Chain A
Amino acid sequence: MLYREAGQFKASYQEDSQIFPIRQDRIGIAVVLAFFFVAVPLFASQYWLQAILIPVLIFSLAAMGLNILTGYAGQLSLGSAAFMAVGAFGAYNFILRVDGMPFLLAIVLGGLCAALVGVAFGLPSLRIKGFYLAVATLAAQFFIVWALVKFPWFSNNSSSGVISTQQVEILGFAFSTPESKYLLTLAIVTVLALLAKNLVRSSTGRTWMAVRDMDVAAEVIGIRPMRAKLSAFAVSSFYCGVAGALYAYTYLGTVEPEGFNLDLSFKILFMVIIGGAGSIMGSFLGAAFIVLLPIFLNVTVHSTIGSWLPASVGSNLELIVFGGLIIFFLIVEPHGLARLWQLGKEKLRLWPFPH
């Protein structure tokens, strides 16, 4: 009843091809954005902003990057964390070495560095597919982290490869409080998410999906697989790179190459799988699930049964429950949380008069 689109007519091509064609969706997005842009910074505590919301946003962006590559273009990658590292170290070096480098430009340039590296490591995708490609992207994961430690130039000759980021400043305004950092992250993530949402509906996105579904058929109808695959690698790595730069600048402040290890790549892959491959919204849901659930479990276990349980049993119990929940969700809905939302939405549109 509430989600009826009856009576919403599209009179022009613009109306027909807008990002959110249903009016309720537009209102919903506006409300959500207003909530996160206005209400959250006003009422959320520092802990929520700094320790929960900023990482969720950043990981959503990284998951979105991988989702473009894996979910839309069908190329499995295990190098997302390494591309994040390229973005972080790229932005750091641009700000360090170029006088008066604006922060936003540095972030974009960091992302572009990651895109270049991504294209280079995406080249094998022209020949190999599926799990074999995943193994090839592992090379990116290990090589990049190794290179960042090996060549001290990247970390400005820090003996251990650790970089400590500069103060974030845009037009003279210093982003030092959690609120301002949160808003900056949110703004960048929102813009990039809308871009991604648009991109996957465009001809580029359609070529990616054609290649994903069957690359021989795609080639037959005139899509160039090389261009499609490499552009997917470039865009995906760009997103990961920007996420990495934000991870360094608005979240941690000090990062080491070891922090961008294979574990993080796997984590991002799990976000895509849990959230839903081939869905922008799924990236947000997946990131929220993977970041929030362990913290939620830790808090719950501590506040309930933690006092009479040995600490190590409690910690292991959290992991067991976490793994169990992942399996549960994958069995109930193999297409991820985004699919659950999609099903719910379809039901809502018919409610209260299903066929």
Chain B
Amino acid sequence: MKLKKTALIGATLVSLLTSGYAMAQEQFIGLPSYRVGAYASGGSGIYGGWIDYMTLINERDGGVNGVKLTWEECETEYNNARGVECYERLKGKGPTGNSVFQPLSTGITMSVLEKVPQDKIPMVTIGYGRTDAADGRVFPWVFPMISTYWTQASAIINYIGSREGGMENLKGKKIVQLYLDVAYGKEPHSIFDKLAEKYGFEIVKIPVANPGNEQQAQWLQIRQQKPDYVILWGWGVMNPTALRTAAKTGFSRDRIIGVWWSGAEEDTVPAGDAAKGYTAAGFNPAGTDFGVIKDIQKVVYGANKGNMEDKSRVGSVYYNRGVVHGIITVEAIRTAQEKFGKGQPLTGEQMRWGFENLDIDAARLKALGADGFMPDLKITCADHEGSGKLKFQQWDGAKWNVVTDWIEGDREMVRGLIEESAEAYAKEKGLTVRDCTKES
């Protein structure tokens, strides 16, 4: 009887320990995705690419140093209230809680901005979100990586300058910003004003009412203004409509430059021939001609474990952007594991350290098979943005072709504005500004 009891207790203990052990070797990543609604094409592409990359890491490498990545999706419908619900739902999952929150929606970013420091979960917003959060001294938990809207605005002007054969040739030029009339479209106004003053060009801002499926009046106005370039700051249905209306009013698409949320196949294909010659910015090019995408095709789709229902979308702009999200997340896990113990799942605080000390240089990119797939990225305590480099792609009627090398924005000017804005926020909220010389 006694023996039996001891054996039983022993067996229970062993099973408890081992199950705990098996559980502990997982890193949980909550995915607040959206696959229905007006922005489903973006959401399904990006989250699909991200999931496929994590599947690749699990299948090919057996996880990050043996730690398997696990994830769960939560449908936000691109709705702020649902996003907050997902944030709260995902926050405690997995052995160490949610490691990172990336909502892919500026509205949801704003809604959880003040919750993340309390819950100690880093929030990464790649190519959207609150611009001045790039000041890591004031926003230690938020990482608007690769490039903010302000850097993008400045990079686009630099690109236009290079097309004109030098920034000095911008003098006297006229540039229209055709923007979606919501917070997103107004974000770069101040920086455009500053740049116009600096280089002596004229900026004309023309709003398009949300959602932007009627632009006749705006393009007539553009025809009257006769600008040298139009910067298309749109999202969703506004983009193909702009290209079609431009064709109708006879504005050369060659001189329309889109932002990265206006530069996907979903924006050009519906516009048909009208999109030919249109150029757009992006921090990742389209295409399957990269080592990492080839690996995904071979390992993930070869084993029929891919997330995309429509396999032809692998290699599209949004899909590749999702892979960029995956690379950054996995590299942060790797970086943090090097400090806090290889093969161990990380807490939110350790993940934050990983993001803050992320350094994906050219050699690392090559090793990842992502050479030319995304810009190099170095995050520091003060700078949560990183390189801010963009590539421009032109649509030839069937696919995107990269037409430039990585182009940087005016980092100095943007950084000054970011610090100014972040310090004002810190003052309003009574936050202490971190001293980055004391951080390790």
Contact = CB atoms under 8 A, between A and B. Distances in A.
Contacts of B34: 315
Interface residues of A, number: 38
Nearest to A178: B88
A55 B428 CA distance: 26
A311 B84 contact: no
Nearest to B72: A302
A46 B88 contact: yes
A319 B36 contact: yes
A55 B113 contact: no
Interface in A299-336: 299, 302, 310-312, 314-316, 318-319
Given A47-B88, A162-B183, A315 B110 contact: no
The secondary structure that dominates the A interface is helix
A160 B74 contact: no
Contacts of A302: 72-74
Which interface residue of A255, A311, A318 has the most chain B CB atoms within 10 A? A311
B33 A149 contact: no
B306 to A, nearest CB: 10
Contact of A159 (B84, B91, B421): B421
Contacts of B189: 159
Interface stretch (A103-111, A232-240, A256-264): A256-264
B75 A47 contact: no
Contacts of A146: 181
A164 interface: yes
A44 interface: no
Interface stretch (A22-30, A184-192, A198-206, A246-254): A246-254
A164 B429 contact: yes
A52 B88 CA distance: 10
A311 B114 CA distance: 29
A164 B80 contact: no
Given A164-B113, A318-B75, A258 B89 contact: no
Contact of B88 (A51, A161, A311): A51
Contacts of B89: 47, 51, 299
A253 B307 contact: no
Contacts of B428: 156, 164
B186 A254 contact: no
B111 interface: yes
Interface in B175-200: 181-184, 186-187, 189-190
Contact of A253 (B35, B106, B113, B425): B113
A50 interface: yes
B411 to A, nearest CB: 19
A136 to B, nearest CB: 19
Contacts of B47: 311
B82 interface: yes
B115 interface: yes
Nearest to A156: B428
B80 to A, nearest CB: 5
A41 interface: no
B92 interface: yes
B322 to A, nearest CB: 13
A295 interface: yes
Contact of A252 (B84, B92, B187, B307): B84
B422 to A, nearest CB: 12
Contacts of A160: 183-184, 186-187
B111 A252 contact: yes
B111 A311 contact: no
Interface in A138-185: 146, 149, 156, 159-162, 164
Nearest to B417: A159
B186 A294 contact: no
Contacts of B289: none
B385 to A, nearest CB: 17
Interface string B394-437: 00000000000000000000000000010001001100000000
A50 B75 contact: no
B14 interface: no
A298 interface: yes
Nearest to B307: A311
B73 A311 contact: yes
Which interface residue of A161, A259, A291, A312 has the most chain B CB atoms within 10 A? A312
8 contacts: A52-B85, A149-B182, A161-B186, A162-B110, A252-B111, A253-B113, A254-B111, A311-B47
Given A156-B428, A257-B183, A258-B210, 15 more contacts: A50-B88, A51-B88, A51-B89, A55-B81, A149-B181, A164-B429, A251-B84, A252-B110, A253-B114, A253-B115, A254-B113, A255-B110, A255-B111, A258-B183, A310-B309
Interface of B: 33-36, 40, 44, 47, 72-75, 77, 79-82, 84-85, 87-89, 91-92, 106-107, 110-111, 113-115, 130-131, 181-184, 186-187, 189-190, 210, 307, 309, 421, 425, 428-429
Shortest Cβ-Cβ A-B pairs, 5 listed:
A160-B183, A51-B88, A312-B35, A315-B35, A51-B85
